[in-house]
Amino acid sequence: MLFPFVWLIVGLLVHVSIAEETSTVTTSAAAPAGSDDIMNIWDLDKSCDDEAESMKAAMEDSLAMVTAALEALEFLRDEKLDPRKDRERFLLLKDKHTSQWKTCQIMLGFVPERKSTHLSQAIDFFKKMKTKMLATNEFEHGFVGRFKMNGIKPKLMCGDEKGADKWTWKPITDLQQHHEFRRYMFKAGAWVYDHRYFFQDFQSPGPLICGQEKHAEAFLDRDLIVFCDKVFDDDYKSRKWPRDLKKTGITEYQSLNTHRDTLPVTMFHELTHWFGGWAEIRDPNERAHADILDQSALTEDGDTIWRKGNRVKTYAVAPDWTEAYNNGLERDVAYGLSHVINLAMCQDKINMNYCGPKWALKNADSLTFFALAMYLDNWDWSYQGRARILGKDYKKRDRSRSPK
């Protein structure tokens, strides 16, 4: 999800899906192979009618990115470059191999050796994501069991407008006669669209899915991904998409972060939450949540970063969700390239409890940046996520350059 993180929870379901308020962004070139029916597993809401072509094209770019990530990791696992056996092949592939090897370390936090369990985990995730994106009916009934009643597919929505035939407010008095809603009897009511419910303690001016800075959000408990108006504004639309950047638009030393705010990259981020599915919960006191989250942003020493109003607080031991809620704390999350690299790399950190591959492989932006880098593989992104020419000798590195 992009912008403020809160826990995803499994909601009470009525007819299709009911839950308490929870939370977790001009194209060219040919579409990737196998993408003709890429939208078939989704219910593209009528709110996306004006953006239907862009949504499909963004899904195609997402498929191209996940394919590139998977192929790169499988290449690192399977390819043994040996100049003594095949010097021509070695010279052809060594620069790309080195770039992928090092980029994996700075973004996902592990050395991709053949027997690495982290490498296997990363391959398994991207393979699962690609397979399910191309499935004909893998998610026909979504994650929510009672969606099976009507065969309703998970929904992609554009914006969160209220009004007739859109999100509408229903007071709890209109809902409490249904026994499934009894756990919500002390709520003020819910914002409702088709059969998806957002319960609230007080009636807000709107459903509050999209704030001013929100790009998109995935709700596994409602079988819903919402893409906010921001990803369809002129600024977003003026940026080159990954398929265009594959050909032109990248300059030497440019940060990969520059190319983050596009519809395909935002969509990929949300799809990592989605296809990651639900986490396996072993602690009965732990709330249900997505397996791929937006992990905590860290200080240089490795402590987690939180906010209380305008105050920034850091914790060597992260508070659990109950403590955070009771104290009005909001997590800073690992969005953006600098946070992604800081999350992946434990080197020189005093606190190593929240960094490394254990966390990077469960962080949506880490997986997204890695996939984007592997797709844009005509550049080397292994030094701070900045574009370098493949094979060029950079002996005197400019230490002042850092990802922004």
Residue 12 pLDDT exceeds 60? no
Least confident residue range of 3-12, 168-177, 190-199: 3-12
Domains and CATH numbers, the chain: 19-160+209-295+333-385 (3.40.390.10)
Stronger pLDDT, 340 or 85, i.e. the higher one: 340
Q: Supply the angle between the helices 364-375 and 117-133 in degrees, to the nearest 10.
A: 80
pLDDT at 264: 98
Here the tokens at position 22 are 């929870």
Residues near 115 by beta carbon (within 8 Å), at least 6 away in sequence: none
| SS3 category, 204 | coil
Average pLDDT over the chain, rounded to an integer: 85
pLDDT attached to residue 7: 33
Q: In whole angstroms, how far apart are CA 243 and each of 59, 62, 141, 254? A: 12, 10, 31, 17
**pLDDT at residue 149, rounded to an integer:** 54
pLDDT in tens, 281-318: 777 767 778 999 999 999 999 999 999 999 999 999 99
The single-letter DSSP state of residue 316 is S
CA distance 266 to 301: 29
Report residue 82's pLDDT band, with 50, 70 and 90 as the boundaries: confident
Q: Is the pLDDT of residue 180 over 90?
A: no
Out of 62-76, 174-188, 373-387, which region has the weakest mean confidence (pLDDT)? 174-188
Long-range residue pairs from 93-100, CB within 8 A, at least 24 positions apart, any chain: 95/380, 95/390, 95/391, 96/377, 96/390, 98/380, 98/382, 99/377, 99/380, 99/381, 99/382, 99/390, 100/72, 100/75, 100/76, 100/374, 100/377
Amino acid letter, residue 363: N
The closest alpha carbon to 58, from 362, 261, 290, belongs to 261
pLDDT of residue 93: 83
Q: Supply angle C-alpha 283, 277, 8, rounded to 5.
A: 60
**pLDDT above 90 (res 110):** yes
CA atoms of 261 and 266, how far apart (whole Å)? 7
Residue pointed to by tokens 């009528």: 46
* Span of 46-55, 144-153, 199-208 with lowest mean pLDDT: 144-153
Residue 57, pLDDT score:
97
pLDDT of residue 293: 96
pLDDT at 138 over 90: no
Q: Which residue has the higher pLDDT, 359 or 36?
A: 359
Structure tokens at 104: 């994996």
Distance CA 4, CA 24 (A): 8
CA-based R_g, the chain, Å: 22
pLDDT at position 169 over 80: yes
Range 190-206 burial, b when 16+ CB lie within 10 A, else e: bbbbbbbbbbbeeeeee
pLDDT band of 195, cuts 50, 70, 90: confident
- φ, ψ of residue 363 to 5 degrees: the values are -110, 125
What is the pLDDT confidence band of residue 212, given thresholds at 50, 70 and 90? confident
| Whether 347 contacts 340, CB under 8 Å | no
pTM above 0.85, yes or no: yes
Residue 18 above 80 pLDDT?
no
Phi–psi pair at 383, nearest 5 degrees? -110, 100
Q: How far apart are CA 237 and CA 327, in angstroms?
A: 39
Q: In the predicted model, is pLDDT for residue 237 greater than 50?
A: yes
* Tens digits of residue pLDDT in 326-358: 999 999 999 999 999 999 999 999 999 999 999
Nearest CA-CA partner of 275 in 209, 367, 340, 343? 367
Q: What was the pLDDT predicted at 259?
A: 97
Residue 371: φ, ψ to 5°: -65, -40
Q: Higher model confidence: residue 182 or residue 274?
A: 274
What confidence score (pLDDT) does residue 143 get? 67
pLDDT at site 34: 53
Structure tokens at 21: 């308020």
> Residue 103 pLDDT > 60, yes or no?
yes
Find out whether 275 and 129 touch, Cβ atoms under 8 Å: yes
Which candidate, 153, 137, 136, places its Cα nearest to that of 195?
A: 153
- N-to-C CA span, the chain: 20
Burial 131-163 (b: 16+ CB within 10 A, else e): ebbbeeeebbbbbbebbeeeebbbbbbbbbeee
